[in-house]
Amino acid sequence: MKILVTGSTGLLGHQVVKLALDAGHEVLATYRAKPPAGGKPIKLDLVELESIKQTIIKLKPDVIVHTAAYTDVDGCETNQELALKVNAEATKQIALAVDEIGAHLTYVSTDYIFDGKKGLCREDDEPNPISYYGYTKLEGEKYVRTRSKGWCIARASVIYGWGGTKKNFATWLINSLSEGVQVKVLMDQYVSPTLNTNLAEMLLEISGRRLTGVLHTAGASRIARYDFAVELAKIFGHDPKLIKQAKMDEMTWAAKRPKDSSLDVSRCAELLKSKPLEVSEALRIMMAQR
């Protein structure tokens, strides 16, 4: 199978590339600035909208796993034009290309399309984003639904793990705690933390089976960020006392965050062989990967 992976140097994308290569697939790995370590490197800047469709049609992949996105929540709030272009308009061009060549598209979306009033959101719950990031990702979902035929929207939550070009919630915690630095973590925001390798496995299964529709492909635990941090500290052998509780109303963010954006992954657990992992199991796997 010929797989095109967008965002191939990112936290999620590089794991999709690695696992796809391990499985013997031909991998086209797109990048913006620095070429990826694995796969055939394909330069593709999602800001240059006019080149996206043409590039994909020329490459003719069987499936596309679209992981690339502008994920800085506050950055999206203050750079709305860029956020809309990368997260929505570029996704539209990918969807149009997919439709033309008869490929399958798996689009990685986010729990931030929900307003956080309910928690354990199901695939058919009504989206209501409260940040511009969430809005642009939802617009991307709409383009996927309306501009291509073979698609799956895979929603995740707080992706973490090793790799990528930036720190994520888990690696920030590990670095801080290992240096004895005290950290403040929210005790009243609930999420479904998702290990990047677990998500990559699910995305490749979805692509390989050409599954369609919306799937919540997050971790299997609804958990407060503070409780996640304490569990991580215990598993990685750090002092949980360094972790102090904070509340959302104490934060000075540019963008609003949902209070409970946890996802119900029961459909995914029933449908896929690669199951969503509980937090404790996922963190033990991450520890072993180090």
Q: How far apart are CA 263 and CA 118, in angstroms?
A: 10
Please give the distance of CA 5 from its chain centroid, rounded to a whole number: 13
Tokens for 162, please give them.
Answer: 């090793």
- For this structure, is 133 an active site residue? yes
Give CA separation, 224 vs 117, 157, 177, in Å: 15, 12, 18
CB 40 within 8 Å of CB 59: no
Catalytic residue among 31, 133, 143, 226: 133
Residue 65 contacts residue 43 (beta carbons within 8 Å) = no
Instruction: Tell me how far CA of residue 33 lies from CA of 41, 179, 217, 280, in angstroms.
Output: 11, 31, 28, 35
By annotation, the residues acting in catalysis are 133
